Each structure stands twice: as C-alpha cells, then as structure tokens.
Amino acid sequence: MRLRRRARALQPWLFVAPFLLAFAGLFLGPAGYAFWLSFTRYRGFGVARWVGLDNYRFVLGYDAFWEMLGNTLFYWVAHAVPMMALALLLAVLVQRQAIGWTRSFKTLVFLPQMLASVATALLFQNIFGTHYGLVDRVLGFDTPWLTDPALSRWTVVFVLIWRGTGYWFIVFLAGLTTIPPEVDEAAAIDGATGWQRLVRITLPLLRPTMLFAVLVDAIVTLRLFNEPNVLLGKAGTLAPASAAPLLNLVVEQMHSGQFGAAAATGWLLFVLIAALTFAMFRVMRERAAA
C-alpha cells in the first residue's frame, strides 16, 4: 500500500524529469559555471585564476558598461511605450470592427514579424543608409541616420517598433477576446462612452495580458543584440559604443579572451533583468489590488 502511494507520488516527477534534467544540464550547470567564472581571470584556456570581486569592480567602474546599459534601457523604454500603445490601439480597432477588411489587415500588421530580425535590420540599413539610403535619395536629404549618435538610436527604436507591433497586436487581440462581450455591452447600455469603456473596463480586464506583454518585451529588449549591431555596425564590427546595447560588452569581452569579465557582465545583466521583472510584477499587482 505504502509502495503504491510512493509510486503514485513519484509519477508526476517522472513526467517532469526529462525537462528537469535538461534544465539542470543545459541551464543550471552552465549558469553555475559562469557564476564561478565571474570570480576568475580566465582567457578561455589555461588556468582560471581566482580574483574575487575584481571582475565586478572593473565592470561596474567601466564607463562603457554604464553607457551601454543606458543605451539598453533607452531602447526598452523608447520602443515599448509607443509599440504597446500602437499594438493595443490596433487590436481594439479590430476587435470593435472599426476596420472593415480585418483579415488582410491582421496579415499586414503581422507581416514584419515574419521577417528575421537580421534581415529586417539589413533592409533598414539600406533604407536609412547615409548618402545612398532610400530615404535620403527619395526625400533629397543627406541625413546621417545611422552614424549620428543623436539619430542612430532612434533609427533602432523605429525598427524595433516596426517589427514588434504585429506580434503584440495579435497577443492583445487574443487577450481582448477573453473579455466577455456582455460586460462591454452592459456598460454601453448604461451610457458609457467608447473611451470610458476602454479605460474603465477593457484595460483593467486586459491587465494580465498587458503584464505578460510588458514583461516579455522587457526581457527580450534588455538582451537586445541583432538590430543595433546589424543596422549600425560595419562588416565585421559591432555597433559603436554610443549606440551599443549591453550584450555587446559581453561579446567584446569574450572575443578578446576576457571570459571572467564577460561572465561578470552577463550576471549583472541577469540581476538587472530579474530586478526589473520583480519590480514590474509588484507594481502591476499593487495596481490590480487597488
């Protein structure tokens, strides 16, 4: 009897075991090794020399780290706000049937998402290229969209919004379909305007979807690499420091054989993402409770 109970208790673990083994072997193990490596000076071969917190001190004292961190946070905030707002607006318009040709519209909006991020960045590199790009040629400008530090980051933001809107549009549309239509109808009967229904009913009920969207987008953007480097880099080189995301520092350190420092930077990025995620959860939950 006891054996049977034990066997039954073990059953769920057996089903989950393959994932747990893969997680331990492919994530926890390497993450733990990277954590240990972050306290050493190691060039990728030879002996790893223990240096304690030196790598963390170097990275935190490095102005390039703060510049790239600033760029990363800029990309996140500057693209997330307009992109989420646009995606939500389009989803609401489609859900309320304000746009007639919804099937074609959904396809058009989602189309950019079907392109690989590298292909997208290469495309926009030709569109915004200095001197010979499509924008400059058609409009007669000679604007350094990709080389001027004041402009180049906004070009990256534009590409992120262009590519990302379609995906979150679909997510918000799916979220909107989970809201019972009777709630909205009842509010309409009670005389609520469209705006009031949107702000007082739709958005609060959509909060779980929005939390998911903001969190996932934040995590993805904080690990941004492709768009800035393909758009702003040259053959064989990464984006300049004035526009480089934080992951560039990890890549540069690895390429120059500074594995300990690269591991430290990676762990600092992880802590940042975890802290931001936790903070966003708290804020959204507090608002929901209120």
What is the contact surface with other proteins in residues (CB under 8 A)? 41-47, 49, 58, 61-64, 125-126, 129-133, 144, 146-149, 234-237, 240-242, 252-258, 261
Two tokens at 203? 């958005």
For residue 125, the minimal CB distance to other proteins (Å) is: 6
* Token reading at 173: 């549309």
The CA distance from 102 to 87, in Å, is: 14
| Closer residue to other proteins in complex, CB, 62/74 | 62
Residue 37 or residue 206: which is nearer to other proteins going by CB? 37
Minimum distance, C-beta of residue 63 to other proteins, in the bound complex (Å): 7
Instruction: For residues 77 and 81, give the distance between their C-alpha atoms in angstroms, rounded to a whole number.
Output: 6
The three-point CA angle 37-43-44 to 5° equals 75
- The CB-of-239 to other proteins minimum distance in angstroms stands at 9
User: For residues 224 and 75, is the Cβ–Cβ distance under 8 A?
Assistant: yes
Collapsed DSSP state (helix, strand, coil) of residue 238: coil
Phi and psi, residue 183, nearest 5°: -60, -45
Reduced to 3 DSSP states, what percent helix, strand and coil does the chain have, rounded to the nearest 5?
A: 75, 0, 25
- Closest to other proteins by CB, 115 or 122: 122
**Rounded to the nearest whole angstrom, what is the least distance from the CB of residue 155 to other proteins in the complex?**
13
Closest separation in Å from C-beta 111 to other proteins: 24
CB of 76: closest distance to other proteins in angstroms?
A: 22
Residue 80 to residues 136, 149, 240, Cα–Cα distance (Å):
27, 20, 23
C-beta of 227 vs 252, nearer to other proteins: 252
Cβ proximity to other proteins: between 45 and 195 the closer is 45
**Residue placing its CB nearer to other proteins in the complex, 31 or 64:** 64
Q: What is the dihedral of CA 215, 221, 222, 223, to 10 degrees?
A: 120
